């Protein structure tokens, strides 16, 4: 009997602290943390010099749009329409994430320059390794 009471005493605080998640016919309401990077899950409105941070501004605007979409979906009375609204919101967020990732990858490729500059099969590679090993030694260390 004591074991059961101890078990209940341990489980009750865990159940009470769980966030409320709205469930409709097995489908849960989308959460912002499912779509945002962990660094921007709790992003606040940038102020002062923080307005210069384009990434934080982007994710803040996305969060505002997401929360407005959730409010619109909650206002719908019919469960079928509400589920459809949540699905459309999820699809929109996933599409925006893939567009954002493609934009970041394009910026990285543009920053790195032409790929042939970084080709590891270059004929100068053995000479470069020889020079790197040769310059390790100081002139007074050569024997």
Question: What pLDDT digit, counting tens, does each position of 11-35 carry?
Answer: 545 444 444 445 545 567 899 999 9
pLDDT band at 93 (very low <50, low <70, confident <90, very high): very high
Tell me what percent of the residues of the chain surpass a pLDDT of 90. Answer: 38
Query: 116 or 59: whose pLDDT is higher?
Result: 59
Determine if residue 31 is left, alpha or beta; phi over 0 gives left, psi from -120 to 50 gives alpha, anything else beta: beta
91/96 Cα distance (integer angstroms) = 9
Report d(CA 1, CA 26) in Å as an integer. 35
pLDDT surpassing 70 at residue 95:
yes
CA dihedral 72, 78, 79, 80 (to 10 degrees): -100
At which residue do the structure tokens 């925006």 appear?
96
- Going by pLDDT thresholds of 50, 70 and 90, the confidence category of residue 74 is very high
pTM of the predicted structure, to 2 decimals: 0.60
Cα distances (angstroms) measured from residue 8 to each of 17, 19, 69: 15, 19, 38
Check if the beta carbon of residue 112 is closer than 8 Å to that of residue 118.
Answer: yes
Tokens of 21: 């998640």
């Amino acid at each position: 009997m004591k074991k059961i009471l101890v078990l209940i005493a341990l489980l009750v605080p865990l159940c009470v602290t769980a966030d409320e998640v709205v469930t409709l016919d097995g489908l849960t309401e989308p959460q912002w943390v499912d779509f945002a990077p962990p660094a921007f899950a709790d992003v606040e409105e940038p102020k002062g010099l923080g307005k210069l941070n384009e990434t934080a501004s982007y994710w803040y605007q996305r969060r505002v749009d997401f929360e407005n979409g959730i409010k619109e979906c909650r206002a719908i009375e019919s469960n079928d329409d509400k589920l459809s609204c949540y699905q459309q919101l999820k699809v929109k967020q996933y599409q925006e994430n893939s567009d954002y990732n493609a934009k970041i990858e394009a910026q990285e490729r543009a920053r790195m320059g032409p790929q042939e500059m970084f080709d590891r099969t270059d004929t100068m590679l053995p000479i470069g390794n020889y020079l790197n090993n040769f310059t390790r030694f100081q002139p007074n260390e050569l024997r």
